[in-house]
Each structure stands twice: as C-alpha cells, then as structure tokens.
Amino acid sequence: SDESDWEIGDFDALDEFGEFERVSEVAIVGRPNVGKSTLVNRILGRREAVVEDIPGVTRDRVSYSASWSGRRFSVVDTGGWEPDAKGLQQAVAAQAERAMNTADVIVVVVDATVGATATDEAVARVLRRSKTPVILVANKVDSERLEAETASLWSLGLGEPYPVSAAHGRGAGDLLDVILAKLPTTPREVSGQLGGPRRVALVGKPNVGKSSLLNKLAGSERSVVDNVAGTTVDPVDELIELGGSTWQFVDTAGLRRKVRTASGHEYYASLRTRAAIDAAEIAILLIDASQPITEQDLRVLSMVIESGRALVIAFNKWDLVDEDRRYQLDKEIDRELARVPWARRVNISAMTGRAVQKLVPALESSLESWDKRVSTGPLNTWLKEVIAANPPPLRGGRQPRVLFATQASVRPPTFVLFSTGFLEAGYRRFLERRLREQFEFDGSPVRINVRVRE
C-alpha cells in the first residue's frame, strides 16, 4: 500500500528535545536453534513472535531497541541462513564477520546441552580475531546441575562461557550486566566503506537473465579478486571489479550452479532471494523487458522494498524490445512500478552487453543516497519553507502544525517528523517528494515516521 513507508511511531531513542541518540549495537550470532531468538526476547523482556520451531528457516536480520539499568542499546538478531546444511558453516561464519564490522558487542550463543559443534568452532575461529568484544553464552542451562557442562566450552577460545537459560530467564540479568560493562560509551560510527566492498544482490524471477548478467559482469573485466584485506568473503559470494572498484555480489552460488528441482523450488528460491537481499546493501532487480511485468516480478520488488535496501531496476533483454513493446512497457511501468518512482532504471541486454556499464553509476549514486545524512539545521530550514508555502490540510477543523524534523538514521535514510496532529497520507507523500527533490535521495527508499505530540 502507499502507506508502507509511513508509520506513527513511538521513538524510544529520541530524547526530550527530539534529537536522535545513536545507541550501541549488540549482535547475537550463532548457529540455528541454539536459542538466539529466545535470548533476544529475554533481553527485550517480552514475548515477541520471532521464535520459530522450523530449523533453519530464514529470518531477517532484525534490530530491536532494548534497555537495561537505564542504558539504551539495540539488539540485532542475525538470521538469514540457507536451509541446506552444506553451506551452514560458511553462512554462520559470514554472519559473525558482518557483526564484527558493525556491532559494538557480539554475543555468540552455543547450546550447552549439545556442546561445541563443528559449526560453533567455525564461528569461534572467526570471532577469535575480533577487535569487537565477544561474550560467549552457554544457553539452555535450565538448572544448576547443567552448569558443569559449560566448562567444556572454554575450548572455543572465547573466554569464560556465561551459563544462561534464555527460555526461563536463569542468568539473564548477570549476562546483561556483562554486556553493559563491555558496551562502549559511544556507539561506533558505521561508514559506507567500513565493511569492505559494497554488497549487491542480483534478484528477479527465474529466466530473467540473472546468471547471464553475472557472467557478463564477471567477464567484462578480467580480475576476479579472491581476497580483499580485512574481509572474509562468503564462498557463495563473488567479488567482481567494475568501474574501478570491487563489488561483492552476494549469494551467487545459486546463479552459477543452477538447481532445478520440481517440488518446493519456488519456496526455496524465494527464501534464497530474501537471504540475498538481506545480505546486500543494494539490489539489482532484473525484469524481462520483452514480456509483460508479472506478479512474480512484483513479489521480488516487495521483498526489496520491505528490506529497506537501495534499488536499481534493470530492464533486461532490451535486444528483444521493439517500438510496440516499448510503448506497452511504459504503460506497465506507470501502472506497476508507481511505488518506486525513485528507483534508477537501466535498459540492458545481458546477452549482447548493451548498456551493462550503466549499472555501476546507478549503483553508486543509489548507495550515496542510501548513506546520506542531512543535518538538522538545513532539514528544518527546508521544512519551514515548504510548510509555509503548502500548509497541511485541516483535520477536524484544526490545522496540524509540523514542529520539527530530524534524520534518525541512514541506510536507509529515516526521518522523524513531529506534529501536533495527524498528517494525511497525501500530504505526507507530498513532503516525501519534496524532501527527495531537495536533498537528492534518488535510488534509495526514504522512511518518514510522524510522531504526534498533542
């Protein structure tokens, strides 16, 4: 719906002056089923419906705001595994790697009733190099009797294991004290380049040309780098040098080795797409320009929109597009892609190579928007002018006053608007359009939360 990017939110992280307080991030990592989600719920002190009993089902990386002893921080539950066990060690190791790049404290969870598995050891190998503080949690220690078994976890080389029962709350308070003690007083600044090469997901329905494009891109410049200092690249990812910089195409294994199985293929394809988008910073959505836009295209588009990632739309198979088709396509774009007028569009042919070089500038400018931060001064100067010229429509005979705006976060840019009354959807869209024009947010979603102050 057109309301998807808008919500009336209660922003815990905003102080009484409406300024956003950047909080430190605690990442929870570990293999599936050790109890990460249960632990997150315990830390949040509420029962959020994130625990699933289906092993290995992909969950998104979700960030929650939490507090303990008066201190606020965010908790990130890392999900996004592949259902097949073969790539699991790498997938979990890559999650740990990502946490090292972004989090302020890493909590690695192990199932004490099982002991250290090969996958736990793979994670530990990564985390032993970590400069970010790591806390080892021995979960499922539901009774004192089980505590003895945690001793064997010293072998992971991550220091003292903290016995916890996420399900029953045992040891949770002590663990939170330990987490707080290791949280830095100021959260780390995440810059665009800190995590190494920018991560791109190539997505789209089957046969749209994803693997053809990947081959074209990989073949266009001879250097396929296999290691970049400071990063461990998941073996399912691929590093490709384009336009003078290195790009990490995530989860390309499925594009390289095509698995075509009948049953459940669609389901796994969509899990895989979700995981790829989650692991990326920007998605290239391929659409077959020679055919009508389908439901399946729009489903993948929705996944990208929900993820908050930057987006470039590539209309592929342009070599098959004639005048008539072009005319039809324009109409389809107006009708079907009205939700993403901001996305950059490129018409390419993965087969002939037509215009594929235009993807790089589109990716670069979209990521620039995705990373952009507008400071509070210019933002409010702009807001005052726009509102003076176009005041919000009356509601119930009263005119809501928009008081103040601030950019709460980047990636994607998220704004908070304070007003004295509800702002109609049409007016909010108008403000978003103007905001995009003024500060040039092309290629990235922009989120605006309205906070009503009576």
Which spans of this chain sit near ligand GDP (rule: CB under 6 A)? Answer: 30, 32-38, 51-53, 139-140, 142, 165-167, 204, 206-212, 255, 316-317, 319-320, 349-351
Q: Measured from the CB of residue 322, what is the shortest distance to ligand GDP in angstroms?
A: 13
To the nearest whole angstrom, how small is the minimum distance from the Cβ of residue 266 to ligand GDP? 13
Q: How many other CB atoms are found less than 10 A from the CB of residue 61?
A: 18
How far is residue 255's CA from residue 201's CA, in Å, rounded to a whole number?
A: 11
Name beta bridge partners: 311: 283
266 burial class (0-12, 13-18, 19+ CB within 10 angstroms)?
A: exposed
Question: Is 219 flagged in the annotation as binding?
Answer: no
Residue among 58 and 132 whose Cβ is closer to ligand GDP: 58
Q: Which is nearer to ligand GDP, 24 or 139 (CB)?
A: 139
Q: Could you give the 3-state DSSP secondary structure of residue 378?
A: helix
Residue 314 CB contacts under 8 Å (≥ 6 apart), including other chains: 213, 284, 285, 286, 287, 345, 346, 347, 348, 359
Of 37, 31, 34, 233, whose CA–CA distance to 118 is shortest? 31
Residue 257 CB, shortest distance to ligand GDP, in Å, is 11
Closest C-alpha among 281, 279, 273, 306 to residue 370:
281
Q: Which residues pair with 198 in a beta bridge?
A: 247
Does the annotation list 251 as a binding residue?
yes
Pairing relationship of beta strands 62-68 and 71-77 according to DSSP bridges: antiparallel
Give the burial class of 405: count Cβ atoms within 10 A of its Cβ; 0-12 exposed, 13-18 middle, 19 or more buried: buried
- In the complex with ligand GDP, the residue whose CB is nearer, 36 or 199, is 36
Nearer to ligand GDP, 273 or 449 (CB): 273
Q: Which is nearer to ligand GDP, 85 or 320 (CB)?
A: 320
Closer residue to ligand GDP (CB): 189 or 295: 295
Answer yes or no: is 131 a known binding residue: no
Q: 77: annotated binding-site residue?
A: yes
Of the pair 79, 443, the CB lying nearest ligand GDP is at 79
Residue 75 CB, nearest approach to ligand GDP (Å):
12
Amino acid at 227: N
- Annotated binding-site residue? 70: no
Q: Work out how close the CB of 216 gets to ligand GDP at its nearest, in angstroms, rounded to a whole number.
A: 8
35 annotated ligand-binding residue: yes
Least gap, CB of 239 to ligand GDP (angstroms) = 19
For residue 148, the cross-strand partners are none
Q: How far is the CB of 237 from ligand GDP (least distance, A)?
A: 16
d(CA 362, CA 200): 12
Say if CB 252 and CB 200 are below 8 A apart.
no
Is residue 32 annotated as involved in ligand binding?
A: yes
Annotated binding site for GTP: 30-37, 77-81, 139-142, 204-211, 251-255, 316-319
Residue list for the binding site: 30-37, 77-81, 139-142, 204-211, 251-255, 316-319
